[in-house]
Amino acid sequence: MAMNRYKMYISAFGGMDGLMRIVNILRRGKVHYNQLHARFSDGNRVEITIYLEGESKEVRWVAAKLDRLPETYTVKVEPPEDELSEATAAAIRG
């Protein structure tokens, strides 16, 4: 299976406790994490951006588990911006 790169956005509440629950689920997934950025706002709200690599099936598993957490508002997965730019450029070139 091919290892693909992804960018995951998570919006959750619960402050540091919510972040730690999310990290514990991330650790259970069979994916590799390159970067994780967490930004706290409005007291208990946390916005998380994660750059990861893994099989599509495993990334979907992690996203589904995170989406089921009561602390989670949203979970969004997409290819990183540099890969989107390369794909767009390749499509334009024809």
Angle at 73 between CA 36 and CA 57, to 5 degrees: 60
Segments of the chain with pLDDT less than 70? 1, 80-94
Q: Kindly report the backbone phi and psi dihedral angles of residue 88, in degrees, each rounded to the nearest multiple of 5, phi listed first.
A: -65, -45
Question: Which tokens is 56 given?
Answer: 């599509």
pLDDT of residue 90: 43
Q: What is the pLDDT of residue 2?
A: 73
**Beta-carbon contacts of residue 92 (< 8 Å; ≥ 6 apart):** none
Domains and CATH numbers, the chain: 4-93 (3.30.70.1150)
The set of residues, in sequence order, having a beta carbon less than 8 Å from that of 33 and lying 6+ positions away, is 26, 50, 51, 52
